[in-house]
Chains A and B, each alone.
Chain A
Amino acid sequence: MSPGTPSPETQGRRTPGADLPDHPDRLWRSAEPKRAYDVVIVGGGGHGLATAYYLAKNHGITDVAVLERGWLAGGNMARNTTIIRSNYLWDESAGIYEHALKLWEGLEEDLGYPLLFSQRGVLNLAHSLQDVRDSVRRVNANRLNGVDAEWLTPEQVKEVCPIVDVSPDVRYPVLGGTYQPRAGIAKHDYVAWGFAKAAADLGVDMIEHCEVTGLDVRDGRVTGVQTTRGPIAAGKVALAAAGHSSVVAGYAGVSLPLQSHPLQALVSELLEPVHPTVVMSNAVHVYVSQAHKGELVMGAGIDAANSYRRRGAFHIIERQMSAALELFPVFARAHVLRTWGGVVDVTPDASPVVGLTPVEDLYVNCGWGTGGFKATPGVGWCYAHTVATGEPHPLNAPFSLDRFTTGKLVDEHGAAAVAH
């Protein structure tokens, strides 16, 4: 062969798994807003779309508009790291997240859309003796709640994910981890579009580039929304505006216990498979999986200061890389291809607010912080119930606004982040 001829190694090679399933030939048509709807959903992200779908499917309410200020599912739905799990500590959390996980398990079929839902398991690593206690406590709580969970020794962690460095001589050695085999990842755009298409097929209007600029409230009751595309009357208004919830709820004079912060994530180039599961480590602030095409997907920390700028500070990425390499030395020469940020709405107890508001017919779903994606079908289901019936679903009843008054918090934050 002459030097110019492609060698057999290069010629005609294909990368297994680097291909994704095609999207369907027809998705949804961006609708023109009508003058009135039974239900207006503010926010066309995953939660808004899932709510619209279950309103139509479970409750037969199809005179519904989903209003999105940008392009559909272009907010946090397009920006998260797609981890799905239900191994939460408190019974209230386990209830709604496990409901979501069960829905995930049948969702591809239900929506008739490939979601690349991959139950590859999630490992949460423990790095201190207190981490170990907290982890075992969570595993045992999960089991009582019917959530699959195991405690793994460092050796077992290594078996599940061979590239984790479990040697004892690193700064914060891995002392073990919890493992939820049914947890995993999905492909976010596919999920959003699956819900959007299914809802649109049932008659829901998808209205893009339509920003809500006001809420009409008369005698303590919401009657419609003001938008950049004109006023729209509504029997009920359901907020699903994530990081912008405070702003939108403020139009009706409703204040929410939220602070909005940038949260960053990043991907590497496409790599041959090295990472078979999802690894999370709260102590060293890493969560990473290897997505379907082969890119490493990692979440970084939250910026401390409030901001609506979808851009975090770079030192947070640098810090996260050092933590990642502590756990995964083989990542050293992988490359960061792209970083991005979303705006997450965080509550004082790191649990969401889903339910009624002081304004009649105005409902709120917010405060999911960094955990909203995994809840998508579960919260869509429960929120649709809440909006349709005017009463919270039993699974979202603990996440009412008035828990901040009584003190009955669902403190995932307090239980997960304590010093000793």
Chain B
Amino acid sequence: MLFRLRTSPVARRIAGALFTLFGVSVAVFLMLRAIPGDQITAAYGVEAAALSEEQREALRSYYGLDQPLFLQYFTWVGAIFTGNLGYSMRSHQSVWDMTALSFPVTLELAVLAVLFALLIGIPVGMLSASRPNALRDWFGQGVGLAGLGIPSFLLATFLLGIAAQSWGFNPNGLGYARPWEDLWLNLQQMLLPSLVLGFAIAAPIMRTTRTAVLEVRSLDFVRTAKAKGVPASRLRWRHVLRNALVPVVTMTGMQFGFLLGGAVIVEQIFSLPGLGRQVLLAMNQQEYSVVQSTVLIIALLFVIVNLLTDLLYRKIDPRVRAE
């Protein structure tokens, strides 16, 4: 029994993760092929109708579309195990090389967005909780509603337009600069997009913080600490917030999935060559292997972040470890 307790949650988690990845691979494979058209029509448009039968056959075999479905699937999965994620005919790069360029972009965007979200969400949440239903609470709730209610694409387009038109500030129009090429320009280019993404996920973080703080505050140990004369600020930060953080961390981890989805839109509007754009472009070109492998990479990231989130709150909250 002791053995089970120690090893099986980890084993179960890894098995679950593998199953998730398998499911994602099958789902994305089938969904792509359910979309009308194929790589030939995506590449040639209506001109594809003007291709002769021989030309079409030649192209089908070039793109590997003449193979039966299950063979296409196993060729793809088999290649992944040999480290070959596929090749993009559009950019003439392997998916590995494309991802090596695009992943750091999305990672930086996601980290900065989470940073903004925590910087906005936690203080506003605590402010709201400090006096429920008072004016400051309404303000906090208002910020939360705005974050949830304003679509990212609208906020992004608005900020981009205002900044360019009013101040001539449009670093994103200069072509993407990688942090190791020009860090200052890179950070300027990341400012608006990460703010937009961060604002969207600040809302659930703020609301979770508010609820959790209110809940923890009503617990017995807080009353005890207060009775023992712990100063108010120390009580607020060390006792209440620390204990309220578990759901906040969980929520932040969950938002990561949203972040990867939201990144598609924000990267598109701010011309950032990240993972989201990689999927979108490949989708438009119906580059099956690129979409499949990139989606799989995103799913893998999501799984890893969830695992890390689990580990993190075990660290924050000793009770989870005890269970």
- Specify whether A and B are partners: no
Binding site for B on A (CB under 8 A): none
